[in-house]
Amino acid sequence: MDLITPGLGLVFWSVITFLILLLVLKKFAWKPILGAVDERETGIKNALEAADKARKEMENLKADNERILNEARAEREAMLKDARDIKNKMVSDAKEEAQQQATKMITQAQEAIENEKRSAMAELKNHVASLSIEIAEKVVRQELGNKDKQLELVESMLSDAKLN
């Protein structure tokens, strides 16, 4: 019975002591310790958040880079294609032109040849005509002198004509 009867004195001193302990510890121990722990935890939280943000930004940046790279690649592709097209066009154009030129030149040449041929024919005709007239003239002149002579003349004339 004695054991479980609280003594008034000890109750009094316990209450006083605990009250003082509580107040002193609250002010000089728990406040700084809990404050520091809180401060550190918020610090860590903030740091983690910042890291997370940075990582996200990094990811965004990477995605951006990827996009830009892709765009550049596409552009290059397009440019190459254009260039190839232009080249092909130029080549085909040139070919065509050359073809045309060649055809034109050939036609011109053919025309020129034709003309030359025609003029040569005309000259030949003229020449043959004048030669015939000349021969006729000479023949006529010889016939007038001597028969033999005439024959001779014709003979020589003919050989001349052959040489010519």
Partner 1 sequence: MCTFARNLEQGIFKLFIMTLNTLRAVLFLVFSVAVTNFGFASQDNEDQDKGFNAKEMIMHHVKDAHEFHIVDWDNKPISIPLPIILFTDNGLTTFMSSEFHHDDSGTHIVEKNGERFVKYHEKIYQLESGVDTLTFDEELHPTNAKLPLDFSITKNVFMMWVSVLVILLIFISAASKYKKSNNFMPRGIASFVEPLVVFIRDEVAIPMIGEKKYRRYMPFLLSVFFFIWVNNIFGLIPILNGANVSGNIAFTVSLAFFTFIITSFSGNKNYWKHIFWMPGVPVPMKIFLMPIEIVGMFVKPISLTIRLFANITAGHIIILSLMSLIFIFESVAIAPVSVGFSLFILIIEIVVTAIQAYIFTVLSALYIGTATEEEHH
Partner 2 sequence: MTITGIAAIGAGIAVIGAGMGIGKIGESAMNAMARQPEIQGKLQTSALILAAFVEAVALFGVVASLIV
The footprint of partner 1 (CB under 8 A) covers 2-15, 17-18, 20-22, 24-26, 28-37, 39-40, 43
Q: How many CB atoms lie within 10 A of CB 161?
A: 12
How far is 16 from 21, CA to CA, in rounded Å? 9
Closer residue to partner 2 in complex, CB, 1/144: 1
Question: Is the dihedral angle over the CA atoms 111, 113, 114, 120 positive or is it negative?
Answer: positive
Shortest spacing between CB 53 and partner 1, in angstroms: 21
- Binding residues (CB under 8 A) for partner 2: these are 1, 3-4
Nearest residue (CB) to partner 1, 29 versus 72: 29
Partner that binds at residue 8, options partner 2, partner 1, none, CB closer than 5 to 8 Å by kind: partner 1
Phi-psi region of 6 (alpha: psi -120 to 50; beta: other; left: phi over 0): beta
Tell me the two tokens of residue 156: 């020589």
**CB 50, min distance to partner 1, A:** 16
